[in-house]
Structure 1
Amino acid sequence: MLKGIPQILSPELLKVLCEMGHSDRLVIADGNFPVESMGKNAITIRCDGHGVPEILDAILTVFPLDTYVEHPVNLMEVMKGDHVETPIWDTYKEIIAKHDSRGGDAVGNIERFAFYEEAKTCYCIISTSEKALYANIMLQKGVVTD
């Protein structure tokens, strides 16, 4: 165990977060996301039993968001015709605001199938047991300045 590191971050996940460089991206995926098929060229990590919000909060404790792009955080857009509410997005924005002064302004949206294509190029995809729909979130790493 380490001091100051959220216990939810496994040694495997900490290693991957540390290995990632500036502009590398990761996806924290909900339980419906096709992690293994999207992550054929990525490191995949299982965080079974956990939801996206608690993983997001823990990661942002140690992971700087990119300051050189407008939206270092991206969500999967809801498909037209899908009548799905996404209150979890508000939770994400609250969590991001705790760790980044841009808060919700750091968050963008990517069309569903474009999100899948972007996910295929990510360094890491984290599988969770999140039940909320359209709860996938992509983070782009920045630089540590302090």
Structure 2
Amino acid sequence: MLKKIPKIISPELLKILSEMGHGDELVIADGNFPSAALNDRVVRYDGNNVPELMTAILELYPLDSYAEHQVFLMGISEGDSYEPTIWNEYTEILKKSGEPYSVKYLERFEFYEQAKNAYAVVATGEEALYANIIIKKGVIK
């Protein structure tokens, strides 16, 4: 056991977060995301949702203040009238983290391409639609 590490952070995820460098990206994926098909480094968090995991990760993980965008969301598909209320939760989590951030919305397949190049994917059991998020790691100042 270690002090001050959120209990939801597994040793495997802690190792990945520690290995990541400035500019590396982490996908926190919902339960529908094709995690294993897009990235070879997948950490399973099937019993957890994205907001609780994102909150814990941002306690340890600085966002990249040097990048134009630090956060990427999968935009709503054309013709879909669904309104992802989970994005409001993300906004609150990001504000509470105190990290400066800018959000970019990516078309579904554009998001998949970016996920292929991410350092890792954290596959959650999140049931909300459009809950996939990519966060870019910064430097400790």
TM-score in terms of structure 2 length: 0.96
Alpha-carbon deviation of 1:101?
4.4
Distance in 1, matches of 2:64 and 2:107, equals: 21
Residue in 1 aligned with 2:82?
84
Q: Could you tell me which runs of 5 or more consecutive residues in structure 2 were left unpaired when the two chains were aligned.
A: none
Residue in 2 aligned with 1:112?
108
Distance in 1, matches of 2:106 and 2:98, equals: 21
Asked whether the 8 Å contact 1:45–1:127 carries over to 2, the reply is: yes
Distance in 2, matches of 1:120 and 1:90, equals: 26
Relative distance call for 1:139 and 1:101 in structure 2 (3 A) is closer
Distance in 2, matches of 1:117 and 1:124, equals: 13
Distance in 1, matches of 2:58 and 2:99, equals: 12
Residue in 1 aligned with 2:58?
60
Asked whether the 8 Å contact 2:44–2:123 carries over to 1, the reply is: yes
Residue in 1 aligned with 2:44?
46
Q: CA offsets per residue over residues 5-48 of structure 1, 9 Å max, x none?
A: 100000000000000000000100000000010113xx110011
Residue in 2 aligned with 1:100?
98
Distance in 2, matches of 1:51 and 1:116, equals: 20
* 2:62 aligned counterpart, secondary structure: coil
1:139 and 2:141 equivalent? no
TM-score in terms of structure 1 length: 0.93
Distance in 2, matches of 1:108 and 1:16, equals: 24
Distance in 2, matches of 1:141 and 1:101, equals: 11
Relative distance call for 1:69 and 1:32 in structure 2 (3 A) is same
Poorly superposed stretches of 4+, deviation over 6 Å:
none
Distance in 2, matches of 1:101 and 1:125, equals: 21
Distance in 2, matches of 1:138 and 1:100, equals: 18
Alpha-carbon deviation of 1:74?
0.7
Asked whether the 8 Å contact 1:8–1:55 carries over to 2, the reply is: yes
Between the two proteins, the alignment pairs up a number of residues equal to 141
Residue in 2 aligned with 1:13?
13
Q: Could you tell me which runs of 5 or more consecutive residues in structure 1 were left unpaired when the two chains were aligned.
A: none
